[in-house]
Structure 1
Amino acid sequence: MSAHATPHAEFPLGPFTPYPQNPILRPQGDTWESASVYNPAAVVKDDKVVLLYRAHADDIVSHVGLATSEDGIHFDRHPDPVLSPSEDYDEFGCEDPRVTEVDGTYYMTYSGWDRKSALLCLATSTDLYTWTKHGPMFPDFNTFLPQGNGQDAPWSKAGGILPEPIDGRYLMYFGEGSIWYAWSDDLIHWTPCSNDEPVMVPTPPGTFGEFLVEVGPQPILTNNGLVLLVHNAAVKNDDGTVRYTCGQLLFDPADPATILAQMNRPWLEPTTHEDTHGLVSNVTFVEGLVYFRDTWFAYYGQSDSTLGVATYKVGDRYSKLGAS
């Protein structure tokens, strides 16, 4: 396994503070990003933060847009989408990207939507603007097992690739509903674990992930070499609405199927007007996480409508020793 862990990462990562002037990106114009801008991946390139975000007009056919920032807060947008529907499997949306960079190549996982199945797909790029699609990754998988999602069609979403190899192979966590893992020798072809053996299933009744759990951004290695996975979690209310918050998991790289530790309360949850009002209300959904200029930036969708950020300055504490 690589010894290159992230020196400023430990479990739990945080505390994160939402930026007071959120949202940092809103819908604009009258075309492909006119109705909603949300659920971004994030990477650092050329000393800038780059967001690859989901956006759509009123038709809810999603594209992936790109924006860059010198400070992680204020972004300049590229005028056109960098990834758009073009194939049968993503005809009605390229949704919810996650991006990992390995040796100068960017690997984007995204959900292809054909209005029947959501399928986890892969695309690659060397410049973040031009992408090559490699198609669905697990076309027969159903990540809503064992609890089911009311349909027989395959379903897979949310792939987060660890950028550091483990004993020569690459690890990815994926899944909406429950969480699973897969291995790859080349970052293109992936072999999942058994569909009968999820790593994490929804949490017990009364907890913040009792309806579903879903992979967030790409996992990272902590300062002692353990794998940190940020995840999203949801509860379903009696009226059928949902509430999405965020948790964290910790794994031993030698045993990526066994959770060593997990947060039992959210580190990010809906609080502001944008978090609680939107296309799907009461959602904070994290998909982007970068370490940039001594600060961790977590980028998230607010109620499937706008895009926010929360920050953790390394050295900040959840509580101060000796405080009354």
Structure 2
Amino acid sequence: MKNLLLLLLLAQLTFAQKQQPWMIGPFRKADAANPILEAKATTTFKCPLRGETVNWEEKDVFNPAVVVRNGKVYMIYRAEDKVGKYAGTSRLGLATSNDGIHFKRMPEPVFYPDNDFMKKYEWEGGCEDPRIVETEDGRYVMTYTAYDGDLARLCVASSSDLIHWQKHGLAFNSFIKGKRDFWSKSGAIVCRKVGNKFIAAKINGKYWMYWGDQAQLYIATSDDLINWYPATRPNDPAYKSLDVSDVNCIPVATTRNGKHDSRLLESGPPAFLTKDGIVLIYNGMNYNQTGDASLAEGTYAAGQFLFDAENPVQLKDRSENYFLKPDKPYEIVGQVNQVCFVEGLASFKGKWFLYYGTADSKIGVAVAKKINE
């Protein structure tokens, strides 16, 4: 029995040693409360495009963004109904919490496909996977994915109160210049932590954003947080196909053989500056033929990147392994099995709260003491 306890202690110490000094955490799942948000069949919404009332969060809720405002955690989360050829349109709901664990939802979505200039990009797949940062003057800037059933496109919107939003269109519209289009998702803007706020930060006169959901992670810059330009090599080829590699985007990180992130990389919450550099929490997808054989095929688990604070293109370090993986029934089985997808990070009441989608069906949270800011 003593030998067994010793082995368990050694295993815990070995895992703890994988927490590199610059990393945020370690995080512990709030198992007693998780999942903290689930689908709800009783809330309704008069869809302006269908012209009928839908149960807008009846199917699944997942992949939230969070900010701290007026002493509360505000969560913008993705919700799906059960209507349409894509088995559900995504809209964004809003919930608030006094403790970071228990949330009260607004009855209707605050962001959704509408009869506006974005309809051709958002209908009928919907508006997905928000990430939110604040500006120096107190506005909120949200990156989100519009999905029309063919292409996912990274988009931008802004708000002063998290309820009323102005859509600004495709994040890379000025870069595309009407010549072509390409798949793009998951924009994590670099911030500076000021108290409990994450304020978009300029580095060398530019805003920076990590983006993508492919075998390589990319980066883009902006002067105004609205119009973004992917970092590309000087010899950009002509616009020919829908493959982002044909735009010659510069990769800042790539997948790894033998690890949980062997198939693809995808940005998590907004990145932020620390004393060690820029920390980006990210999602990695496992491919068993070249990845981590101890994880199920297609598992989404979370890792962390450290980029140079003066040169955000330069990767300085990365976590040796995942720090969060699916291991609970509601994380293992759902709309998409074997998923912990991190997307929201809050500094609140002296702790870190990391919010994540579970199996693309529910929302969970992991908590850590604040260290190494």
Q: Is the 8 A contact 1:141 1:156 kept in 2?
A: no
Is 164-173 or 262-271 further displaced after alignment? 164-173
List per-residue Cα deviations over 1:276-321 (Å, max 9, x = no partner).
01000100000000110110000000000000000001369xxxxx
Deviation at 1:60, TM superposition (A): 2.0
Deviation at 1:174, TM superposition (A): 0.8
Structure with larger Rg: 2
Q: Is the 8 A contact 1:141 1:155 kept in 2?
A: no
Deviation at 1:108, TM superposition (A): 0.6
Partner of 2:207: 170
1:88 aligns with 2:120: yes
Deviation at 1:230, TM superposition (A): 0.6
List per-residue Cα deviations over 1:222-259 (Å, max 9, x = no partner).
1x161110100001357x95110001001112211111
Q: Distance in 1 between matches of 2:306 and 2:154?
A: 23
1:216 aligns with one of 265, 268, 280: 268
Partner of 1:52: 76
Q: Give the helix-richer structure, 1 or 2.
A: 2
Query: What amino acid does structure 2 have at the position aligned with 1:73?
Result: I
Q: Is the 8 A contact 1:234 1:242 kept in 2?
A: yes
Q: Distance in 2 between matches of 1:299 and 1:14?
A: 13
Q: Distance in 1 between matches of 2:204 and 2:264?
A: 31
Q: What aligned pairs does 1:1-324 form with structure 2 within 5 A after superposition?
A: 11-20=22-31, 21-30=33-42, 31-58=55-82, 59-86=87-114, 87-91=119-123, 92-102=125-135, 103-138=137-172, 154-162=182-190, 163-177=200-214, 178-194=216-232, 195-196=247-248, 197-203=250-256, 205-222=257-274, 224=275, 226-237=277-288, 242-314=298-370
Query: What amino acid does structure 2 have at the position aligned with 1:34?
Result: E
Q: Distance in 1 between matches of 2:260 and 2:288?
A: 11
Structure 2 spans left out of the alignment, 5+ residues: 1-20, 43-54, 191-199, 233-246, 290-295
Q: Is the 8 A contact 2:174 2:229 kept in 1?
A: no
**RCO higher in structure (CA 8 A, sep ≥6):** 1
Query: What amino acid does structure 1 have at the position aligned with 2:128?
Result: E
Q: Distance in 2 between matches of 1:137 and 1:12?
A: 29
Q: Distance in 1 between matches of 2:71 and 2:22?
A: 26
List per-residue Cα deviations over 1:12-66 (Å, max 9, x = no partner).
1111000012000000025000110100001000010011000011232100000
Partner of 1:4: none
Partner of 1:147: none
Q: Is the 8 A contact 1:119 1:139 kept in 2?
A: no
Deviation at 1:158, TM superposition (A): 0.2
Give the 3 Å change call, closer, same or farther, for CA 139–115 of structure 1 in structure 2.
farther
TM-score calculated relative to the size of structure 2: 0.76
Q: Distance in 1 between matches of 2:297 and 2:325?
A: 15
Q: Is the 8 A contact 2:24 2:371 kept in 1?
A: no
Structure 1 spans left out of the alignment, 5+ residues: 1-9, 143-151, 317-324
List per-residue Cα deviations over 1:199-235 (Å, max 9, x = no partner).
11222x221111000000100111x161110100001
Q: Distance in 1 between matches of 2:28 and 2:355?
A: 12
Query: What amino acid does structure 1 have at the position aligned with 2:158?
Result: T
Give the 3 Å change call, closer, same or farther, for CA 212–312 of structure 1 in structure 2.
same
Structure 2 counterpart SS, 1:242: coil
List per-residue Cα deviations over 1:122-164 (Å, max 9, x = no partner).
011010001111111125999xxxxxxxxx9721000011212
Query: What amino acid does structure 1 have at the position aligned with 2:74?
Result: V
Query: What amino acid does structure 2 have at the position aligned with 1:226?
Result: G
Partner of 2:236: none
